[in-house]
Structure 1
Amino acid sequence: MKKLLIILVIGMILAGCSKDEDSTSKANDETEEVKETEEESTDMKTTEESETETEAEEIPGLGDLEIKLHGKAIIDEDKIIVEGESNLLPGSRLFSNGISDDGFASATFIDGAEVMDDGSFSFEFSGVGKSTTVKLKVVNNREETIEQYGEFLENATGPQVYLTDTHGVFEVKVEFHIDVMEEMPYTIPIEIPEWNEKPDNYGEPEVWMEAEVDSDHRYLYFHGTSNLMEGAQVGGNLMHESGIIVPFSFGHTRVNPDGTFEFRVPYTTLRQGMYMPIRYQPDRNTWEDVIAVYGEQGENLKGDLIEQDGDSQYAELIVKLDVPDFEPPEDVGLTVEEEEVKIQMPDDLLFDFDDSELKPEAKNTLEDVIKDLQKLDADTTIEINGHTDNVGQPDYNMELSEKRANAVWDYLKKNGNVSGLDVEVAGYGETEPIASNEDKEGQDRNRRVEIVINPKKGN
């Protein structure tokens, strides 16, 4: 019996040892599994961090001193969206503003935007009723950007870095022009400019300028080169041959870093002998660097373009306009785009309100127009088009514009030698305005009969 008890005790001890070995083995296995899981997690985390670092490295040039801003502006009737890209430091800010074509600041475009981690930025503005130039510029008011680009952006480089009115202070900017008469929606590319080499005598007091001009039916576009220093303001007011200014037809700009300049001038009619005096005038230039070169009164200016005005001097380039050999009546518009010429007759010269029968005095206008049409070569293509404002029903306006265009053509062919011309007559109602219908002045301009000579394809 005693022997049996000893055997049972030994068996229990052996069984206990076996159980402990199993538990220990199981615990060790679990520990190894946890360790492997932790290692896998660590490896995964390291991989994710590496991928993040790689993605960041794939964004080239963030924070480079050679700054680049580009993108696009999407123009629609009720909103304007700017989608931009840059290599600015993330967190940098841009400020926007706008100046309408009539020279007034627009509250619509006062806003700010922050540069995202990938260098992108965006603005959204409400719709705009007037054609406007919009400027986006870097705001250097953070410690990180000041350290990188300098307090006055003096460390920044590239074609989008410009002088300002204060010596040693710079700005980084882009600009684009919104034309509200363009068919919407449309997109404006925002591009990095490519400047030419500066002239050898850039910034010297002996000033020279050259300029060319082209046009569409709304603007004259002046493209110039010079040795004027960057920031000098140039421009002028369109003039009649008699020396009288053409109202509301003016434009100014500042000279680019390479001495070039461009500006647009709105116009409604051209006449023989018109010209544009492009001036650099000291009283329009208060920039410190410009004054240092040319003098407060222009006293340092030299060269064939220099004119005297009392105690002051200014530089002036006369650009004569190439106007077709037409002499339309005083109140009739004449506009040009390449070979296409438009003679625009306001409806109140021809018709009574809401009527398509020519007024007796309309013949005075149309007789002068006949003289111009008879100068054209046989088989010249012309269109006679009627237009209205947007007051009233569209279908009614369309019909009225067709009747008025036909009334004009009936008079021309009965009273002039124009049978050799290739003529098309059409009414467009309110569909092709040349001015905003938001005010009476614009509505008056939109109510018209146009004679289009050498119409461009697609008109």
Structure 2
Amino acid sequence: MRNDLGVTFIFLIGCALVLTGCLAVKDEPGSEDAAASGQELENELSEEASGKDSGSSGSDLGNLEVWIGGEVTVTEDKITIKGESNLLPGTSIDSSGVNDVGFASTNFIDSTTVKDDGSFYFEFPGRESSIAVDLKLSNRNEETKEHYGENLEKVTGPQVYRTKEHGKYEVKADFIIDTDKEMPYTFSIETPEWGEVPDDYGDPHVWMEADVTSDHNYLYFHGKSNLLEGSQIGGNLRQASGGIVPFSYDFTQVNPDGSFELRVRYTNLRDGMYMPITYEPDSNSWEDVVAAYGEEGEKLEGDLVHKNDDGKQYAELQVMLDAPDLNPPEEVGMTVEEEEIKMQVPDDLLFDFDESALKKEAKDTLDDILKDLADLEKGTVIHINGHTDNVGDPEYNKKLSEKRARAVWDYMKKDGEIDGLDVHIQGYGDTKPIASNEKEEGRSKNRRVEIVINPQ
């Protein structure tokens, strides 16, 4: 299977036996009158919107095939959303946000009203960490309920999702604000393009599969299954020993076509690490899902099924990660993006405060890294980059970071083992932080020397 990490990923894929489910159908069997009524209304709205370009703001206001889009701009000071939609003017849209560790952000709880041309606008304060944002159609007012249905059951389109309550739906656009990116930046809100529903959707023989990509902040698990929509799955990244990797987890719900996406933060990729993607009955409250698999997972069977200490059953797919063939010291972070490998060496392993001369114990750390570099092919490009926090004069920090990067290179080249590598030295000062400088925890991460192999 193809991998975008430049390393091999092995996927352990098994099966679990479950009770057959079925796709969400908004009109109950025999409800031809409801279907006809909805179709007539949609046709009327389409006729009213004739002569306008489909897909542009205001082109088909009130159409029951709803779409919500727009443009998001992220700066250090604020986040703005210039939205577009074909929602009825006067309709309310609610916003919410969840941070990387799963907590709701009160700064993103807000509501706005759709204007006469279908546009809407949100503005939020700047962020120190990434956040997942939801924009949802609200059916609080009577006009919205009458038009789109008491439970939004009349709405169609790829942004319609089932909810935990049978027969109720939500309409939403979601996206991630990534504060690790260089700001300012702008992106468009994307409409999901769901694939075909698996032929065996809801079949007792359940399967999952996944592919993995990464950048220097996250592992991205792109999966497909025949699990019922709304099934909650996910887990915590694990060491080869089975111990959890702190703060490296994600949970999500299966999409309408059986797909799922997990985004897991990581800082140190090591051989033998794996990601368990788990279905646990205790984590699910969707009525249809619980009915299908049992309140304690008792209906689950197959190779993926295990029992916990309480005797409850769960299903788990383990995605094994084979890291680059490098073994830096455990305190040194290692991340991968395509062919580029970064080793992040904290400055307190190398230098005393405000110094650029290597500490005596720093040599043990660098000797271990040298063993890996000495095995690289001749001509491999290496960047040694110095970085600081933002405390003090920026120009002073830049010079200090360059001196520290130079000190590392001067030590590493002394025995000639890596003379064949194409090495570049650079000091960036405080211009490329990898964490917020607002707190000491973040500042300590920013004070580092990066050793980059195959820089992009």
The bucket for the TM-score relative to the shorter chain is 0.7 to 0.9
The residue aligned with 1:384 is 384
Alpha-carbon deviations, 1:48-97, whole Å to 9, x = none? xxxxx999964432211111111111111111111111111111100001
The residue aligned with 2:447 is 447
The residue aligned with 2:149 is 150
- Three-state SS of the structure 1 residue aligned to 2:205 is coil
Task: Map 1:287-436 onto structure 2 (within 5 A).
Answer: 287-309=286-308, 310-415=310-415, 417-436=417-436
Task: Say which one has the larger Rg.
Answer: 1
CA separation in 2, counterparts of 1:401 and 1:172? 49
- Three-state SS of the structure 1 residue aligned to 2:170 is strand
Amino acid aligned to 2:65: E
Amino acid aligned to 1:136: L
Alpha-carbon deviations, 1:292-342, whole Å to 9, x = none? 211111122233222222421111111111310111111011110000001
The residue aligned with 2:250 is 251
- Three-state SS of the structure 1 residue aligned to 2:413 is helix
Amino acid aligned to 2:212: V
CA separation in 2, counterparts of 1:422 and 1:92? 59
Amino acid aligned to 2:376: L
The residue aligned with 1:5 is none
CA separation in 1, counterparts of 2:410 and 2:382? 14
Task: Map 1:85-234 onto structure 2 (within 5 A).
Answer: 85-234=84-233
Alpha-carbon deviations, 1:229-279, whole Å to 9, x = none? 111111111101011111111111111100000011111111111110111
CA contact (8 A) 2:389 2:447 kept: yes
How much does 1:128 deviate? Answer: 1.8
CA separation in 2, counterparts of 1:375 and 1:245? 30
Which structure 2 segments of 5+ residues have no match? Answer: 1-46, 53-57
CA contact (8 A) 1:224 1:260 kept: yes
CA contact (8 A) 2:220 2:264 kept: yes
CA separation in 2, counterparts of 1:240 and 1:416? 35
Q: How many residue pairs align between the two structures?
A: 404
Alpha-carbon deviations, 1:353-408, whole Å to 9, x = none? 00000000111101100111011011111011111010110010001001100110
The residue aligned with 2:23 is none
CA separation in 2, counterparts of 1:322 and 1:211? 15
CA separation in 2, counterparts of 1:256 and 1:146? 25
- Three-state SS of the structure 2 residue aligned to 1:191 is coil
How much does 1:206 deviate? Answer: 2.3
The residue aligned with 2:14 is none
Amino acid aligned to 1:227: N
Amino acid aligned to 1:285: N
Amino acid aligned to 2:356: S
Amino acid aligned to 2:362: A
CA contact (8 A) 2:70 2:84 kept: yes
Q: Runs of 4 or more off by more than 4 Å in structure 1?
A: 53-57
Amino acid aligned to 2:312: S
CA separation in 2, counterparts of 1:454 and 1:196? 35
- Three-state SS of the structure 2 residue aligned to 1:207 is strand
CA contact (8 A) 1:207 1:302 kept: no
The residue aligned with 1:49 is none
CA separation in 1, counterparts of 2:95 and 2:427? 41
CA contact (8 A) 2:270 2:322 kept: no
- Provide the identity percentage: 62
CA contact (8 A) 1:208 1:303 kept: no
How much does 1:108 deviate? Answer: 0.9
CA separation in 2, counterparts of 1:416 and 1:180? 40
CA contact (8 A) 1:334 1:343 kept: yes
How much does 1:416 deviate? Answer: 5.3
CA RMSD of aligned residues (A): 1.5
- Three-state SS of the structure 2 residue aligned to 1:231 is coil
Q: How does the TM-score come out when normalised to structure 2?
A: 0.86
Amino acid aligned to 2:101: D
Amino acid aligned to 2:229: E
